[in-house]
Structure 1
Amino acid sequence: MSENAGNRTASGTGLLAEKVVLVVGGSTGIGADSVRLFAEEGASVMVTARSRDTLEELTEELTAAGHDVACTVGDVSVGADVARFVDDTITRFGRLDGAFNNAGINQYGRLDEVPEEDFDRIMAVNVKGMWLCLREEIRAMRESGGSIVNTSSVGGFRGNTGLGAYQATKHAVIGFTRTAAHDNGPLGIRVNAVAPGPTETPMFVKWRHDDPAAVERRISAVPLRKAGTTTEVADAAAWLLSDRASQISGVVLPVDGGYSA
């Protein structure tokens, strides 16, 4: 959770004060801490994921703390579910001002060794799911404008042995982001992306347990010599969603300690 939690919105001057924000893929890690941060910064937040129990726990936590948060459950790779995410947000809060598209899965293995069903699944979630989110969010923002932030990765800038399918999806996210910024700028819709480097997500913690030497090698390649935190990524997304980034669109912002420099 953000170290500045608790007092950001007392005066109504939070970074996202009076914004309605949809967080897709918000049950754990970067997504969950983004929901917490956006709420602390004054936003009304609709959070989505496939795990009902986890979503309801997060929603109850933040509602008890006085924040305006609701949840809806579904699969980002299913068009009807994504349309419902947006419709539920508008029904609950009256409009959609911003969206953070953070849903995604990982997949390991050389390109010539990835099973076809695994390839199809990661493409369905990370690529088709991103397209579905953009399509429905833009539909909702077409008349009033808004801001969208997508989660890519430093893997979207380069190749890396054993992560080819995953990195291909993150390259695709960057392509979506830049094209959507061009297409929808005249409508007052800004579209940007964050590109996390090594980050202390639950998946990263598991990797540290399974192969600590590999993790240390990765961190040693980061100029700041540390992995990022989920809240640091959330902070970058919050700024891009806010009016303080009003002239920023089509940008892919590394949040990686200099890893991609």
Structure 2
Amino acid sequence: MRKFRTDGKRMHKTAVFFSALILGAALLTGCGKKTEPPQESETQTKQETVSATEQAKANETGAVTNTQQAALVENDGQHSYLTGEKMDPEQVKQRPLAVMLNNILEGCPQTGTSKASIIYEAPVEGRITRLMGLFENYGDMDKIGYIRSSRDYFVYCALEFDAIYAHFGQATPYVGELLNSDRVDNISGPVAGINHPAPNTFLRTTERKMPHNVYLDIKGLQKDIDKMKYSRTYHDAHKPKFAFAADGQKPDNSKG
């Protein structure tokens, strides 16, 4: 997997502090006088004006830099959006599949995870974690497993990659509304709270006990993607998450 570059200038806010110290001596004769508070000097006003101007320039430079960096994310159509590896142009266009995976002893070893381009791991509850694999060109695979339920933060991660999202079950109070919305191309088992379950995608094996025995059948998945009329290619609004160094070049993070 190639290293990706994260060029970008970090803006440093600079504050200029100016203080004037007025020393005065008065001869005390009889009754003393109260010292008047020092007036703001012209030098102090000038310093603050210069600071504001410099900050405005820094803001403008930062905006330009962000625009330039956004341009770097453009893909030439011959490299994976997820890994930066060389890939057939027709395969580059294909949306990835995000799959929720078991990550406890009863659900291990997993199946198909070696084919994932990216794997997320995040805690769920009870001091356990769950995995979400992002698979490219999964059509030549047989099955992926073992499948578990969704959490909202995994869904948002999948949306960043414009991925089709597959899971079996969910924490309904937190993610049910999101999964049923038009924002997510959702592939779910027939569980409570899911408006349009996928009838062909998921199967159970007799080699393990429930609920750790659900796997994703690729042929069944293809049927459900067509049935639900999900796009197999990236949407026009897709924005690549990573910017990769060109072939043969090392990533330059000197300005990162």
TM-score by length of structure 1 reads 0.31
Task: Look at both structures and tell me which one has the larger radius of gyration over its CA atoms.
Answer: 2
The answer to which structure, 1 or 2, has the higher relative contact order (CA under 8 A, 6+ apart) is 2
Greater percentage in helix:
1
